[in-house]
Amino acid sequence: MNFIDRLHKLFAPLVNPQEEQLKLALEALQANPSEVAPHLVEPDGCIPYGRNVLLRTDDVEVVLIHLPAGAKSLPHNHGDSFGCEIVVEGELTNLLYQTGDDGRLHDAGKEVYPSNSLVYVPKDQIHAIENATKKRVVTLNVYTPPLAACQQYAPEEPAQKEADRVKNARFNELFDQWASSYDETVYDSQGEYQEVFAGYDRILAAVVGQIPLGSRTVLEIGPGTGNLSRLLTRGGYHVIGVEPSPLMREQLKRKGIEIDLRDGHFLSLPLLKHEKVDAVVSTFAFHHLPLEEKREAIRLLQSHLSDRSGRIIIADTCFIDEASKQKMIERAKRNHQHNVLHDLLTEYYELHEDLRTVFQKNGMDVSFSQLNNYAWLIVATYPEAKQ
């Protein structure tokens, strides 16, 4: 039986496996360098090692890692997963880290594993993998549950981390509370928010429809319970989702939507400097930033667009001018829509003119199309991009 068939036979049946079962399966596989070699992939420019997912079930993810000579990953964790790995070829260096009370990463030791070593990767481990030799290193890794919401620690991030955490707190309470009933709200045809979310599915589709042809990777900010994420994955896009609310992230994962989901927010993007995407999308989230922070957010998002044909596509509440905003405020008062009124008075629902200025100052043109009485489709493009 060939390597892939053996791998499927051993790992596909595993249900909620424990450490011992993962180790036994890895040992039983008897992966040898020559039969594994055809499945190695080269680093893709985003991460310094090649990563090939050989199997992913509801319970396990088996990944073949190829670390070329001298390669070293950034420190990262594995979200809620734990796992085991076997060194198929070469000598692996595992650099361990801990977060201190100051929120910074501290070195916590180094382990060196020769080939055939079997290594347990506990759930809370923060580590970096390194090939300190001149020959390639190949490891076969299995994680359970399949990887989601892994966190990378960019070199400059630790100093920023504490401040970011404080900022994060600003958004999370409300959305943590709303997470379990959020989908009811957006599909409610009677409640107070019915008009705000009217045509919700059509709005999400309109956003997807603006993604430039040929795009592969899309960055979604504030995916919430993942309704747009699901549409994007169905469209075949690879989606990186950045969501600050832990309970929103949990809802999204519970629905089985497969995106690369990360903790972060508009002003603290958990992406490596050189990680690029073809488009950025966001629905009903941009209004959480005050106008001055919106400009900074656009600048950060632009730094991850792969080229100048990339777009930023947003659906959110905004108003043509002050008069139309006031009209909606008066209407909410008349109709005793206390929650909507509160939002109109406290959220950062901008006027078109102000949003246009924010994008123009960042060198982008912007178009507005109305989606319902509140929501507009906002599409930002570089002037030279072909339509």
* Residue 224 interacts with ligand SAM (CB under 6 A): yes or no: yes
* Residue 374 interacts with ligand SAM (CB under 6 A): yes or no: no
**Which one of the spans 38-46, 222-230, 350-358, 366-374 is the region binding ligand SAM (CB under 6 A)?**
222-230
Distance CA 269, CA 273 (A): 10
Which has the closest alpha carbon to 188: 351, 339, 342, 348? 339
CB of 242 to ligand SAM, least distance (A): 6
Which has the closest alpha carbon to 90: 33, 143, 49? 33
Which has the closest alpha carbon to 266: 357, 358, 376? 358
Q: Which residue, judged by CB position, is nearest to ligand SAM in the bound state?
A: 224
Q: Is 287 exposed, middle or buried (0-12, 13-18, 19+ CB in 10 A)?
A: middle
Measure Cα distances from 55 to 4, 34, 383 in Å. 9, 19, 43
* Residue 241 interacts with ligand SAM (CB under 6 A): yes or no: no
Looking at the Cβ atoms of 32 and 369, the one nearer to ligand SAM is 369
CB of 221 to ligand SAM, least distance (A): 5
Distance CA 262, CA 221 (A): 10
* Residue 266 interacts with ligand SAM (CB under 6 A): yes or no: yes
Looking at the Cβ atoms of 105 and 228, the one nearer to ligand SAM is 228
CB of 26 to ligand SAM, least distance (A): 37
Amino acid at 370: Q
Lay out the site mask for ligand SAM across 159-188 (x = CB under 6 A, - = otherwise): ------------x---x----------x--
* Residue 279 interacts with ligand SAM (CB under 6 A): yes or no: no
Amino acid at 308: R
What residues line the site for ligand SAM (CB under 6 A)?
171, 175, 186, 221-224, 227-228, 243-245, 248, 265-266, 283-285, 288-289
